[in-house]
Structure 1
């Protein structure tokens, strides 16, 4: 009987051993296939990518929050609140350029790996629209609240109304009034939307956008930044993309959603961003907006690849990972401002 038990035990162990070897072999083969396809053997996690120079301090705050155990949404909020509260950044939050009536109106959105999202547009008097957008996601059955309704909701959630028009922004607005010519100034001084994409320790993807929109816009104008599918889109099984630049052009092409869809079809983040920028160019090359048109995208895929690409020169973005820390990268582009 003992010999029989020993035989069964050895046979079982042998089966386990064979199964383990086969399992390891299968995992190795899958890893090799993934590596050949993506060029990345061990994707970097967490990873943060955000637009423009003001993405650099935003990344720092987001990274710190992630490392302290905060959720991705809380971490994105912490990062976005940095430029929102900085009066020297004239395209986001407090200190942002007003519309043609001298009123600062804000747009923001946030989205998690479950595709739950919250958004506010045409919000006035609240310094941190990204925080209100997060509350929309968490505490309402809706995706977007706008205008007076967004303000009422913010106040009901404990936010405090305040004047967001700084003396410096007011001075610039009054100077603009002397001629009152509307012409978006985008990219020249790296002033535009901040968009952020995050891959957390578990490989889940989230994102957010916040902006004060185009300077001197018509009162009530809303750009792409709070629109899921235009300024921001993600699919946790595929990747994420976010936009910066002239919102009208991004809305016309559902820009960020299209970047993600191309990644779903197998394109890299760079290839996907480049193709949609090319599409925007082709649709706008004879358009009245072309003389000042700038659009840029950032993207990450599920494998940890990231990229940025813009229509015109000058677009940069901040990237933060464990291996290389926080740094700025210049995006490749289709054309310079002289073209």
Structure 2
């Protein structure tokens, strides 16, 4: 139950090390934004650094030339430009106020940003010789996200969760959707109740897909004995495994 996280952090390259520093040297769970960067640098990590690359700048320039499309805005005008953005006119229904939106289409479009070519989440679970479990997740976040956006990467129980008594879980995919379900917490608790990793992972993914049938995501689950499995929805997912008895890493392919 020791947790450290950072979010919205710039100017420091190694986010997972910064998160570990929060866990080891503060009584907090999460630090965010430039203050998280300042903390990480004060604790010895290199920075401030310019983390932009030639590739990322070219990608951003092309996106701007394409009127900042696609993006994660909804219920705003203008729809096809770089802003500034304004709220669409509210629609009054009786005493309630709502916004007209095709929810299914919105989720379909947003999830289409997540695929093998634009996703960089790394989620890991480590078991030491004493049976203690550590988990961690690191990501750049969604491409073309709105500044200030925080996905499921630093959210304990969403992108990763572990319990020495049970096992561990890691997740990747459409974090804005997945974090609403804390799928890795769900997986670990399901295994605590006796579910096999394969069943627990499939159950957690199914819970999300039932509410959001167009989302994209994947989970790996491993119990305290080392039995592991994965489940995915909307893409073909791969995870890797290595134990002291293995000569090399084994890559497992999981199909939707």
TM-score normalised to structure 2 length: 0.80
Is 1:234–1:240's contact at 8 Å kept on the other side of the alignment? yes
Aligned Cα RMSD in Å?
1.3
Is 2:118–2:143's contact at 8 Å kept on the other side of the alignment? no
Structure 1 segments, 4+ long, off by >3 Å, are: none
Q: Secondary structure of 2:179's partner? A: helix
Match of 1:328 in 2: 251
Q: How far apart, in 2, do the equivalents of 1:141 and 1:204 lie?
A: 21
Output one character per residue of 1:74-109: Cα deviation in whole Å (capped at 9) or x when no partner.
xxxxxxxxxxxxxxxxxxxxxxxxxxxxxxxxxxxx
Counterparts of 1:260-271 in structure 2 under 5 Å?
260-271=188-199
Is 1:295–1:312's contact at 8 Å kept on the other side of the alignment? yes
Q: Shift of the alpha carbon at 1:303?
A: 1.4
Counterparts of 1:51-130 in structure 2 under 5 Å?
115-130=1-16
Q: Shift of the alpha carbon at 1:190?
A: 6.9
More helix by share: 1
Q: How far apart, in 2, do the equivalents of 1:306 and 1:189 lie?
A: 26
- Bigger Cα Rg: 1
Is 2:119–2:142's contact at 8 Å kept on the other side of the alignment? no
Q: Does 1:144 align with 2:30?
A: yes
Q: Secondary structure of 1:123's partner? A: coil
Counterparts of 1:182-221 in structure 2 under 5 Å?
182=71, 183=110, 185-189=113-117, 191-221=119-149
Q: How far apart, in 2, do the equivalents of 1:273 and 1:122 lie?
A: 28
Q: How far apart, in 2, do the equivalents of 1:230 and 1:296 lie?
A: 12
Q: How far apart, in 1, do the equivalents of 2:160 and 2:224 lie?
A: 16
The partner residue of 1:249 within 155, 169, 177 is 177
- Structure 2, gaps ≥5 residues long: 72-109
Q: How far apart, in 1, do the equivalents of 2:235 and 2:37 lie?
A: 37
Output one character per residue of 1:189-227: Cα deviation in whole Å (capped at 9) or x when no partner.
373310000111122211100000000000000000100
- Structure 1, gaps ≥5 residues long: 1-114, 334-339
The partner residue of 2:150 within 203, 212, 222 is 222
Counterparts of 1:267-278 in structure 2 under 5 Å?
267-278=195-206
What is the aligned length?
213
Is 1:120–1:129's contact at 8 Å kept on the other side of the alignment? yes
Q: Shift of the alpha carbon at 1:323?
A: 2.8
Output one character per residue of 1:54-90: Cα deviation in whole Å (capped at 9) or x when no partner.
xxxxxxxxxxxxxxxxxxxxxxxxxxxxxxxxxxxxx
Q: How far apart, in 2, do the equivalents of 1:299 and 1:192 lie?
A: 19
Q: How far apart, in 2, do the equivalents of 1:192 and 1:309 lie?
A: 18
Is 2:170–2:184's contact at 8 Å kept on the other side of the alignment? yes
Is 1:238–1:263's contact at 8 Å kept on the other side of the alignment? yes
Is 2:217–2:235's contact at 8 Å kept on the other side of the alignment? no
Decide whether aligned partners of structure 1 residues 297 and 281 sit closer, same or farther in structure 2, where only a CA change above 3 A counts: same
Q: Does 1:301 align with 2:229?
A: no
Output one character per residue of 1:150-191: Cα deviation in whole Å (capped at 9) or x when no partner.
012112112221011101111011111122122452223373
Q: Secondary structure of 2:4's partner? A: strand
